Chains A and B, each alone.
Chain A
């Protein structure tokens, strides 16, 4: 069976500091990978998605970036955090074939920028 893990679960970072959130998927290969963000009381915002190693598509221009150094590893980064980067970050994966496939989410990472 497939599993998805992301970490850290919670972090508090000062404004201007760097960020690295990591996500890995086990039990499958060539998944589509996603990073979403959810601000307090808001819906889910798609930030990045990837259909393969080194292939990243950005949905929202901002000071965040994503990388996929390995097939089942997805990393969300920032060089300098802003207060507005606070939120609940979710990594997700999906089988590549077909729009009928389910998307599976990780446990989420709470980021508070102070």
Chain B
């Protein structure tokens, strides 16, 4: 069964540095998402992406964040200048159609981001 893959599994970065988290969604999927989960807290929506543009973003997704689908297969999340509070597990998800009635979102294993 096809899977969403995320790399790296763990990223350690100094505060203020840029970080790029990578995701390869399932190949025929059209909608892509990033979520994050701070330790001990709920999974939170960050951004959704369709047709090469952001379709929705949350309050968390400020100017420090950006997403890109540079080559038709990868889907990246960039944090320009990391802060301590960016430490979290970041999940990528993809789905074939936006209306979820028949198509669930498929999640990757996540990238654990640790900011020092």
Q: Do A and B bind each other?
A: no
Residues on A facing B (Cβ under 8 Å): none
